[in-house]
Amino acid sequence: MMTPDEITARGARVLRMEREALAETETRLGAQFAAAVQLIAASSGRVIVAGVGKSGLIGRKIAATMTSTGTPAMFLHPVESVHGDLGIVSANDVGILISKSGETDELLPLLEQLQRLGVRTIAISGDGGSTLARHADVWLDASVREEACPHDLAPTTSTTVTLALGDALAVALLEVKGFRREDFARLHPGGALGKKLLLKVSDVMLTTELPFLGAGATMLDAVVQLADRRGISVVVDDARRLLGVITTGDFMRVLEKGTDAFAVRVDTVMTRSPKTTVPDELASAAVYRMEQAGIMSMPVLDASRQVVGVVHLHDLMRAGAS
């Protein structure tokens, strides 16, 4: 029976081996990787990903990642492909075929059929001299010195490297195609991720009963608003253009000076260049800036610096922007 320390050491060994394998893969990345990205980016069709066993599971994940980042992709099981499923393939597609040995019996007939249809192919395998690597248009080197399995049998290190290469392809394609946060949000409309990416300041800001004060108002006027409007007063001119902001902290600093705090004019106390936002800013970006600045509220300005709303940190977080 292994001790807890021995068990932990075994786990650490696996992580170390996989980390080292990824580092080695990084050093091998070069012209073939760039060629693979360019091949897919130039295609007007889909990416067809295929593999058997653990390679197939990794292939499904690669296809899903590509699809969610703007590169339409689907997984095709090699066995099913030669029993009718090749009908989904067109000559404009690009195939990614995954095999550690590059000699997987079920995969080679698919390679032949794809080439017969005029499909360009990318092989991800651990042997550059294999049938798969030699006959594909592009070969990506997924070789590893050994598996993390103590018997060097179970696909572990090799599948990690293959998965990472798939992620590298997807992200490089994302950048080549200019895929934006808004595009990502469009493909992920559900759940917390979609909400975070789609939510804008305009969806959360307050637009009625705004805490406005004129420059000639006193701190007495401000205190009433600070208590009633969640700790912020916005000083504006007659055209509702922003002049400054008063917060509860400003009032406390006036009190500490021992003067008649209520009689002090707000334009002598206000912050004249406060943090602001605009209606179209992503709510998550506004949350980040507010947290960095240590503030709870911001005026929302239009292009002419007119105040069109106020947004509060708690409202943003409650709406799922954090």
CB neighbourhood size of 219 (10 A):
25
Helix and strand numbers, DSSP H then E, in the chain: 13, 10
Contacts for 244 with CB less than 8 Å, ≥ 6 apart: 235, 266, 267, 270, 271, 272, 274
Asked if 36 and 143 sit in the same domain, the reply is yes
Asked if 123 and 258 sit in the same domain, the reply is no
Asked if 159 and 230 sit in the same domain, the reply is no
Asked if 214 and 158 sit in the same domain, the reply is no
Asked if 226 and 174 sit in the same domain, the reply is no
Asked if 106 and 244 sit in the same domain, the reply is no
Q: What's the CA gap between 178 and 182, in Å, rounded? A: 11
Asked if 19 and 153 sit in the same domain, the reply is yes
Q: What pLDDT score does 230 carry? A: 87
| Widest Cα–Cα separation across the chain | 89
Tell me the CATH number at 146. Answer: 3.40.50.10490
Q: What pLDDT score does 104 carry? A: 92
- Total number of residues shown for the chain: 322
Note the pLDDT tens digit of each residue in 252-267: 888 888 778 888 899 9
Q: What pLDDT score does 82 carry? A: 65
Where does a domain end: 113, 148, 179? 179
Note the pLDDT tens digit of each residue in 23-57: 999 999 999 999 999 999 999 999 999 999 999 99
Asked if 23 and 142 sit in the same domain, the reply is yes
Asked if 167 and 296 sit in the same domain, the reply is no
Asked if 89 and 136 sit in the same domain, the reply is yes
Residue 19 has pLDDT above 70, yes or no: yes
Where does a domain end: 124, 147, 179? 179
> Is residue 305, in this structure, part of any structural domain at all?
yes
Asked if 118 and 10 sit in the same domain, the reply is yes
Where does a domain end: 179, 213, 228? 179
Query: Helix, strand, or coil here: 150?
Result: coil
> Is residue 191, in this structure, part of any structural domain at all?
no
> Is residue 196, in this structure, part of any structural domain at all?
no
Note the pLDDT tens digit of each residue in 120-153: 999 999 999 999 999 999 999 999 999 988 887 7
Q: Find where tokens 């009718």 sit.
A: 84
User: What's the whole-model pTM score?
Assistant: 0.64
Tell me the CATH number at 208. Answer: 3.10.580.10
Note the pLDDT tens digit of each residue in 224-282: 888 888 889 999 999 999 999 998 888 888 888 877 888 889 999 899 999 999 999 98
> Is residue 259, in this structure, part of any structural domain at all?
yes
Domain limits for position 47: 4-179
Number of separate domains in the chain: 2
Please provide the DSSP assignment of 175-226 as one string.
HHTT--HHHHHHH--SHHHHHHHH-BGGGT-B-SS--EE-TT-BHHHHHHHH
Cβ atoms of residues 32 and 138 within 8 Å? yes
Asked if 157 and 283 sit in the same domain, the reply is no
Burial grade of 233 (CB within 10 A; 0-12, 13-18, 19 or more): buried
